[in-house]
Structure 1
Amino acid sequence: MSKIDFTGRVAIVTGAGGGLGREHALALARRGARVLVNDLGGTVDGSGGSVSAAQAVVDEIRAAGGEAIANGASVTDAAAVQAMVQQALDAWGRVDVLVNNAGILRDKSFAKMDPADFRLVLEVHLMGAMHCTQAVWPHMVAQKYGRVVFTTSSSGLYGNFGQSNYGAAKMALVGLMQTLSLEGQKHGIHVNCLAPTAATRMTQDLFPAGMLDAFGPAAVVPAMLVLAAEQAPTRTVLCAGAGSFEAAHVTLTHGVHIGAGADAPEQLAARLAEATDRHGEQVPGSGAAQGANEMALAAAPRTA
């Protein structure tokens, strides 16, 4: 079993002033990475800001003998994100790992959701991750190496009451990962998603008191390290919590061919259980696989 080592690598971790991000930054530094610690320093809902949270993590890393610098940019500010990446390049000459961890919550049932709160959560989670990834992408392409980790969530993968904005943003990150993993493959860039279950400042009220220790953010870190390592997979959604790890997949069933006749809606309704039967389902290599499957079904000989 080879040790996962980041010696000589440069990592950027967003939202790293506390919780999961802090644990990610500390773990990368312990394993040899030079780390830019980004954190706006705001509250859980995204208001306010101070670089002090990021600087505190930098101080921890330096006290342990590592190299780190602090950054207080908002990931929603594209120009500030570009400057953040340039800060890492000026300090260390490269960026090898990007962990998109920054996030906020504006929970409310959909019927009561303010569109501004919906939009802001998308801006931070989705557009923030896009800004950061787009800023590092050309440098990773040029060096023929990169590791990008998006932080998704079970709320996006499977839904969660009161989190329509958060769930939409988190599932969108899976879609972004799916395409970027394909586009990055020839450049040595691996792109993955981490779906953590952890008691952090944003989620600690959701856990029974007796389970807080088991679901500490440090228990998620091994999954991040695997997804960011030189030996990392690509196009993987890895779930982690309390020391357990699973993978999530978007699958495609074998399906049925009905045709486009006038009674196709009624036929589909009658055969819906067959269309949704998961026996023999696949994980497509790309979006084109859906069309290929439908073409094969359409071309197959019909039996009376």
Structure 2
Amino acid sequence: MKESEQELDAASLAARQRRFEEDLVDAYDEELEMEVDDRILDGGEGFTPEARELRKQYFRELFRLQGELVKLQDWIVKTGHRLVVIFEGRDAAGKGGAIKRITQRLNPRVCRVAALPAPNNRERTQWYFQRYVSHLPAGGEMVLFDRSWYNRAGVERVMGFCTDDEYDEFFRSVPEFEKMLVRSGIQIIKYWFSITDEEQEIRFQARIHDPLKQWKLSPMDLESRRRWERYTQAKEVMLQRSHIPEAPWWVVQAVDKKRARLNCIHHLLSQVPYHEIEHPSIVLPERVFHEDYSRHPVPDSMIVPDVF
């Protein structure tokens, strides 16, 4: 090979390596975009050397745990495991943020999120668990429920959306329902995200004053603030009456959002007996070129303008 060709290949390899690094940085930027609100809310202290070091530690651990989640995903696909993870907690407790970090690197065909709206008129006449059943995982899938059938034990009870008889029937049925799912081969992991009264107020105030987050506040959320103690009582009853060996509750201390995410992911990984799955080496095939093919130009009128 001529010297000029060697130099060209070296330059090409260097350019390709830069592209790989840029893609990696782009992935990190996604994380930073998700965290920027936290940094702003931290105020001036968010920029101290100690705070920067803590953020570096957080991202290092998050990326490491997300790598383990990919291994978990591969194991679930390989073994046909079925996994349900339930996330419950007060409004603004951080359930959604934890779910985002879990799913961010995973295949949405394998790891799905079920966040059901309020039941419609037809669903209100169905067996209570019926609308949740269709979201349960098939073999090789995991489903994360962002709120679940435990709505009846929480918001429906506190807001008066169910009768006393329906509430009592729920607690008679839910242990048997979950035992039935476990007997059928579905693993159930249930998390309650716990925050203080003061922390919820701070997060609600942040949403009120942030135009990008105001959509998260509903009239139901605001009413939940007034009924804090009733929610506490409902939570205590729920944990007591539905904490069963087949599907126990786990409480995530969630006042510190970042620690809560890391602790939750670490615990989730510890609950599944996964291991790394060996994959065959991947070789990118050569492009096939056809001399009789010529690419047609795209009309300028179809091009998105380069505004940025």
TM-score normalised per structure 1: 0.31
| Structure ranking higher on relative contact order (CA contacts 8 Å, 6+ apart) | 2
Q: Which has the larger radius of gyration?
A: 2
